[in-house]
Structure 1
Amino acid sequence: MTTLHDGSNTSLMRRAWSIRRLALRMAQVQGQGYIGQALGVADVLAVNYFHALTYRPEDPEWEGRDRFYLSIGHYAIALYSAMIEACILPEDELETYGMDDSRMPMSGMAAYTPGMEITGGSLGHGLGIAVGAALGLKRKNNPAFVYNLMSDGELGEGSTWEAVMAARSHQLDNLICVVDFNDQQADGPTTQALAKGDEAPKWAAFGWHAQEVDGNDMDALVAAFDTARNLSEPRPRVIICRTQMCKGVPFLEEREITHFVRVDPDEWARAIAHLDAQIPA
């Protein structure tokens, strides 16, 4: 079997709902996790895994697959949820999240987890790895795409912009960078640090095809991913996704949001119950 593409945006919304629910269940096991980011990026991952990527769930190392690189290692809880939904990882391992000898450590590591292409972090390294992979695929005449999911905080890393320049220099039209812009990093809002919010023109000035979309709008995401993949111009592509931390769980959305959202012990079940009452038709 190759890919698990869904035929409608309603199906993708159901996938995103399931990714959110799986992430909450995993975080409940440890009583913690980067759940704000996982809930926020679920729509992006649903489009990635169930609309854009070509892969074989039963053969994560298939040479013809599109590569998905998670530069943000602490987003692993979100990616595990997507890979469980995609049948790359078994759901019966979900409750081992973050435990000794688990294939689902709290920060993503390629050596542990089938389908985890790289070990994310130090932050700012993922795009450089993706550039190397995209160049290698070009030289092997492999038509696969490389998708790199990175955080807005990584826009403040010099290594990111070196990779941006290298990708344009090598005309890597098989490289699609996806930026999760939720305006949160460890030291506070990203827009109060080095990324001021005018990101698409900046990438375009470096020679990339740049799009900026609402990262929680399924229609907009599908259109942006289709445009990026089908573009005929010989240059790399970036999709900047403005996402809302804790999306889908209103009582978490409404509290003061920081880089690490703290959830009280009784709130995990409450959050899951809310999702269960909001299953997409």
Structure 2
Amino acid sequence: MDQARPSSTDPRTQVGQVAAAVRRRVLEHTLLHNGGYLSQACSAAEVLATLYLRVMRLGPSRAPLTPRPFAGVPGAGNPASFTGADYNGPRAPELDRFIFSPVHYALVLYSLLIEVGRLGPAALAQFNQDGSTVELIGAEHSPGHEVTAGSLAQAISQAGGIALARRLRGEPGWVWVFMSDGEFQEGQAWEAFAALAHHRIGRLGVYIDANAQQCDGAMSSVMTIEPLAARLRAFGAEVHEVDGHDSDALAAPAAAARTTERDRPLVVIARTDPCRGIDLLRARAPKLHYVRFKSEQEFAEYSRLLETLRGASA
């Protein structure tokens, strides 16, 4: 599928165009490989598109459109190593930093980077190949990633450290974190928020894809995290709950937060639909985490849907 940059100058329309293109690209990839994190594209496309197009202040990409091969792990003895953060622009005091936490969403992030012109469309040909940085589960060298998140919820701790360091250096730029709601089943997420409150960390914003799903099914049946907003407020955060497919609602809390000095993290809980734009997925509920087609008939149904979505975008 060729790259299709947003054609509108209206920010809300741009986000809608990019989100729809991300879903098409992830669906195409899932069909080509009989597997993919498809529901994550359904739920998170508008959240990530809004972050890149309306929330974060990033410089132009400094990375090649064709991803570099893996150069080894970072360390004093490996000057050739790199991270994928340069796809998000240069590190400058006034610019923002982006930390991507649920690294199994990597295919969605790569697709988003393609749609906003920071990564070349041919990059997905390297997906999950030996020696490639376009990893199935993103790592610090993968496009758009700055840290290896490891187990879920580790990245919020790393983001807190980065935000504290930036404050100590007097840097005005923000640190933005994208998380999934399943990460709040992990104790480390709550320890991190306790630390953020203790150190009065401002200029850190967290967007949560609250699609109510995890790998074993619905969050409510596996282990509920609700009331998530009340719990986060109890841990000292400023919390907003919004429709995660409404770009205006997603962008508003960040715009307001930039107008004042702050001493606590901003959290936007984006309530999302894990089948948004691909209603065929609803037949698989509650097991939506990863799609492998069960039959030739199901494969054909999703193939027809892809052609329909392509036609709608023409």
TM-score strictly above 0.5 = yes
More divergent stretch after superposition (243-252 vs 194-203): 194-203
CA–CA separation in structure 1 for the residues paired with 2:203 and 2:197: 11
Aligned partners of 2:49 and 2:112 also within 8 Å = yes
**What pairs up with 1:180-219 in 2 under 5 angstroms?**
180-219=209-248
Q: Can you give the 5+ residue segments of structure 2 that lack an aligned partner in the other structure?
A: 1-5, 63-85
Asked if the contact 1:228/1:238 (under 8 Å) is kept, the reply is no
Q: CA deviation at 1:6?
A: 5.9
Alignment correspondent of 1:36? 39
1:190-248 Cα offsets, whole Å, 9 max, x none, are 12344343111111111110011111122321223323444543211101111111311
> Shift of the alpha carbon at 1:47?
0.1
| SS at structure 2 position matched to 1:133 | helix
Aligned position for 1:154: 183
Q: Distance in 1 between matches of 2:171 and 2:145?
A: 20
Larger Rg: 2
Choose from 22, 25, 29 the match for 1:26: 29
2:286 & 2:184 partners in 1: Cα distance?
20
2:72 aligns to what?
Answer: none
What runs of 5+ residues in structure 1 fail to find an aligned partner?
none
Correspondence for 1:66 among 96, 100, 120:
96
- Pick from 215, 220, 242 the counterpart of residue 249 of structure 2: 220
Deviations 1:9-67 (A, max 9, x none): 11211111122122223333322111111221000011011111122233225112422
Matches for 1:48-59 after TM superposition, within 5 Å: 48-59=51-62
Q: Distance in 2 between matches of 1:96 and 1:114?
A: 12
Q: Aligned-pair RMSD on alpha carbons?
A: 2.2
Q: 1:144 to 1:6 in 2, by over 3 A?
A: farther
Mapping for residues 132-171 of structure 1, pairs under 5 Å:
132-171=161-200
Query: In the alignment, which of 248, 269, 272 is matched to residue 306 of structure 2?
Result: 272
Structure 2 CA distance, aligned partners of 1:157 and 1:137? 26
Range 257-266 or range 233-242, more displaced? 257-266
CA contact (8 A) 1:69 1:116 kept: yes
8 Å contact 1:33–1:106 — kept in the other structure? no
Is the Cα contact below 8 Å between 1:152 and 1:195 reproduced in 2? Answer: no
User: Which residue of 88, 112, 118 maps to 1:88?
Assistant: 118
Count of aligned pairs: 276
Greater Cα shift, 170-179 or 226-235: 226-235
Relative to structure 1, the CA distance from residue 269 to residue 229 in structure 2 (aligned partners, 3 Å threshold; closer, same or farther) is: farther
TM-score by length of 2: 0.81
- What percentage of aligned pairs have identical amino acids? 34
Say if 1:29 and 1:95, in contact at 8 Å, map to a contact too.
Answer: no
TM-score, with normalisation over the residues of structure 1? 0.89
SS state of the match for residue 172, structure 2? coil
Q: How far, CA to CA, are the matches of 1:196 and 1:170 in structure 2?
A: 24
Q: Which residue is equivalent to 1:243? A: 272
Show the counterpart of 2:82. none
SS of 2:217 mapped into structure 1:
coil
Bigger mean CA offset, 46-55 vs 261-270: 261-270
The equivalent of 1:15 in structure 2 is 18
Local SS of the residue matching 1:239:
strand
CA distance in 2, matches of 1:277, 1:224: 35
In structure 2, what is the equivalent of residue 101 of structure 1? 131
Greater shift, 251-260 or 44-53, is seen at 251-260
Q: Deviations over 1:248-271 (max 9, x none)?
A: 112224542422233443344323
Q: Quick one: distance in 1 between partners of 2:152 and 2:305? A: 29
Verify the 8 A CA contact 1:207 1:235 in the aligned structure 2. yes
Letter paired with 1:68: F
With over 3 angstroms needed to count, the CA separation of the structure-2 counterparts of 1:69 and 1:46, relative to structure 1, is same
Change beyond 3 A, Cα 1:66–1:267? farther
Distance verdict in 2 for CA 1:6–1:234, change over 3 Å: farther
Verify the 8 A CA contact 1:26 1:97 in the aligned structure 2: no
> In the alignment, what sits opposite 2:290?
260
Displacement of 1:117: 1.1
Q: Report the residue type matching 2:20 in the other structure.
A: W
